Amino acid sequence: MSGAVLRVNNLQTQFQTRGGVLKAVDGVSFEVGRGRILGLVGESGSGKSVTGYSILGLIEPPGKVAGGEVLLNGKDITRLKGDAMRQVRGAQIAMVFQDPMMTLNPVLKIGTQMIAAVRAHDKVSRKVARSRARDALAKVGIPSPEERLDAYPHQLSGGMRQRVAIAIALLHSPAVIIADEPTTALDVSIQGQILAEVRRLADETGTAFVWVTHDLAVVSSLADDICVMYAGRVVESGPAADVIASPRHPYTAGLLASVPAEHEPGTKLPQVPGSTPSLANLPQGCAFAPRCAKAGPACTTTPPVQHFEDGRTALCHYPIEPVSCQPLSLTSTTYRSAS
Amino acid sequence: MIGFLIQRVLQALMVVIAMSIIVFLGVYAIGNPIDVMIDPASDQALREALIQRYGFDRPLFEQYFIFMNNMLHGDLGESFIYRLPVLNLILSRLPATLELALTAMLIATCLGIPLGLWAGYKPDSLSAKAIMGFSVLGFSVPSFWVGLLLIMVFAVELGWLPSGGRGPTTEVLGMNLSITSLEGWSYILLPAFNLALFKLGLLIRLTRAGTVEVMSSDYVRFARAQGLSEGKVVSLHVLKNISIPIVTVFGLELGSTLAFAVVTETVFNWPGMGKLIIDSITVLDRPVMVAYLILVVFLFVMINLVVDLIYGQLDPRIRVKAAS
Ligand SMILES: Nc1ncnc2c1ncn2[C@@H]1O[C@H](COP(=O)(O)OP(=O)(O)O)[C@@H](O)[C@H]1O
Ligand code: SF4
Ligand SMILES: [Mg+2]
């Protein structure tokens, strides 16, 4: 796909700690096209948020982006400094965070925060900025947007607040929005509404989304493509439907087996055994080896990236054979566009 | 809002009444004022007459009620020493202390907030560490010693500023103020700086702590992700959020500075209320002490009330609680 809006190449982000260098993101690559939604999946601590922050140049010491490229419409933005990078943030790439309780300043009105966001990039009057803020709120389905501008964050529900955050991200019609677990803190029905809204926005405005989540059910219903991360690396990638129907990496298969929808009610959910390894002492070779049922003798060496049909990849010595029969999807709803 | 106001005013009233009892009892317990008022050689009859006149022979609670009743009529008694109404006496000293305290607060705020912001914005920088070191000195070195040092350096050695006293005053809105003239400023600068030092240290630390907290918050990260400039992040998010603790300290410190500028006023021979109370304590001028302390309580309560009201303006979450 040459029309990628955002292409991340071999991104490396490290944290200097007392115990040594932590490779929180270790050679991550992916790309998103116009109007497409990429699901970035992985357990907590796998490096999803750090990937997002790295793309926006928001990593602060003791962390740093140590290598790789972030190509926005073909231009590497990792080398941008100071004000040049600030002009990209919010205008060309925007980000939405997980906890809507924390991402809005509790002592400032919604309107004040949105007007500041408009005026960060466009030198317009407060009045114009305010009307643009109002339009953005309407665009994400917030009722009586004019009144909401005068509200404080605590006067809105969690779902409303997250819509406000998405509206802020949309203000400058960015090419890409990185959404870092934006619906995790919300209940399921609100989550469903927001996912539908996001799908519509991607289709109508052509905005590309990187949708970070640890919830495969969300990805299966929303994303076009999927990237599974483990210990700072992408272990599997490909079209979402294909990956979910027939995972090639043992870790993806384990994650899928633990999703409730695919499982018979009343029996215990299988979990991926073991827990996320500490980045400080990753095992030699494949980081997943201690938890992997398929691990073999070769797994003490770093696995290669295996390329399969349909642009799928897996980082594994012994990838799972593809299954031919199409199993059921994870959820009954789907927000994926029929393509 | 009105309900909140009434509730707070009632609370304030209770505090004033409770404090008036404590102050009255406390002051009553120390010494017999008659002994300082009259010549030890005078005869018993004069003594009895005076005791009768001031009502010292009556039961304590009666004395208290007479005192309170008089106070409600604006009569806080008469100084044993100056033979003047206490209220006039104290109020005549108020402008001097007021201008000293406010100048000190101004110095502390104008230096403390920018320094604290910087120290919180770049907490690992050398300059931030120097600022923090200075702030520790600010409230650990005794005030009288710093005062003497300031006099030594700026008045005695360099001869730039006068060593004490207050400059010429002009009447503004019925108050005699010295900060209206340049000469007045030359007198007030050293004592005001001396008085400001503790508050300066406190404000620096408070501002720094608030800044560090806000800068590491999710909403600042989100603001940066929107492309807000660093200047805007600080002026919009940090300043607004740290204004709440700063207003608290400002209120508390303004009250205590007005009430207890004693040491500085003594060292710099500043003719304010602090010097008056010290003199009154030395000679056991009971009405002055009682009135002064009650006035101080009143001052504190009023300042706290104002601070609470400002809070409501600054933090919308408090407004909601108060309304419900
Ligand atoms: N500020 C930091 N200092 C040190 N290590 C960090 C810091 N931020 C993140 N990390 C490391 O990066 C890893 C990945 O974190 P993160 O991207 O937040 O995971 P995820 O979003 O997938 O849950 C963490 O396990 C942690 O070890
Ligand atoms: S490389 Fe080996 S240990 Fe790692 S996932 Fe594949 S089979 Fe399992
Ligand atoms: Mg995260």
**pLDDT at res. A327:** 52
Q: Exposed, middle or buried, B41 (CB in 10 Å: 0-12/13-18/19+)?
A: exposed
- How does pLDDT run across B229-280, given as a tens digit for each residue? 999 999 999 998 888 878 877 887 888 888 778 888 888 888 888 888 888 8
Which chain B residue lies closest to A87 (C-alpha atoms)? Answer: B227
Indicate left, alpha or beta for A61 from its phi (over 0: left) and psi (-120 to 50: alpha): beta
Strand partners, A177: A94, A209
Chain A contact for B309 (CB, 8 A cutoff): no
**Which CATH superfamily does the domain covering B91-272 fall into?**
MetI-like (1.10.3720.10)
**The tokens 């004490």 sit on which residue?**
B164
C-beta of residue A55 within 8 angstroms of C-beta of residue A94: no
Q: Decide: helix, strand or coil at residue A9.
A: strand
**pLDDT at res. A1:** 44
Cβ(A63) – ligand 1 distance below 6 Å: yes
Cα–Cα dist B314/B307, whole Å: 10
- How does pLDDT run across A196-213, given as a tens digit for each residue? 888 988 999 899 999 999
Looking at this protein, which amino acid is placed at residue B152?
Answer: M
Preferred mutation among B219, B230, B247 to probe A, highest tally of A CBs within 10 A: B219
What value does the mean pLDDT take over residues A57-84? 91
Q: How confident is the model at residue A336 (pLDDT cuts 50, 70, 90)?
A: low
C-beta of residue B123 within 8 angstroms of C-beta of residue B215: no
Chain B contact for A103 (CB, 8 A cutoff): yes
Pocket test for ligand 2, best of A230, A234, A291, A294 (most atoms within 8 A of CB): A294
Q: Which atom of ligand 1 is nearest to the CA of A47?
A: 17
CB contact under 8 A, B223 and A116: yes
Q: Decide: helix, strand or coil at residue B183.
A: helix
Looking at this protein, which amino acid is placed at residue A7?
Answer: R
- How does pLDDT run across A235-288, given as a tens digit for each residue? 999 999 999 999 999 999 999 888 776 556 666 667 777 777 888 888 888 999
**pLDDT at res. B257:** 83
Cα–Cα dist A202/B46, whole Å: 99
Q: Exposed, middle or buried, B169 (CB in 10 Å: 0-12/13-18/19+)?
A: middle
Chain A and chain B share a number of CB contacts under 8 A equal to 83
- How does pLDDT run across A238-252, given as a tens digit for each residue? 999 999 999 999 999
| Residue ranges of chain B whose pLDDT lies below 50 | 324
Pocket test for ligand 2, best of A286, A301, A305, A313 (most atoms within 8 A of CB): A286
By alpha-carbon position, which residue is closest to atom 6 of ligand 2?
A316
CB contact under 8 A, A106 and B232: no
- How does pLDDT run across B79-108, given as a tens digit for each residue? 878 888 888 888 888 888 989 999 999 999
Nearest by Cα to A180 from A272, A276, A44: A44
Cis peptide before A62 (omega within 30 of 0): yes
Please count the other Cβ atoms lying within 10 Å of the Cβ belonging to residue A109. 18
By alpha-carbon position, which residue is closest to atom 7 of ligand 2?
A295
Q: CA angle, B167 as apex, B165 and B172 as ends, to 5°?
A: 130
C-beta of residue A219 within 8 angstroms of C-beta of residue A184: no
Side-chain half-sphere of A331: how many Cα atoms within 13 Å?
Answer: 16
Side-chain half-sphere of B59: how many Cα atoms within 13 Å?
Answer: 3
Query: What domains appear along chain A, each with residue ranges and CATH number?
Result: 1-92+179-184+213-339 (3.40.50.300)
C-beta of residue B138 within 8 angstroms of C-beta of residue B198: yes
Pairing of strands A233-239, A225-230: antiparallel
Local structure of residue A89 (DSSP, 8 states): B
In sequence order, which residues have a C-beta less than 8 Å from that of residue A328 and are 6 or more positions away? Answer: A262
pLDDT above 60: residue A145: yes
CB contact under 8 A, A105 and B228: no
Which chain B residue lies closest to A52 (C-alpha atoms)? Answer: B225
Considering only CB atoms, which chain B residues are within 8 Å of A86?
227-229
Alpha helices in A38-125 (DSSP H): 48-56, 82-88, 110-119
pLDDT above 60: residue A13: yes
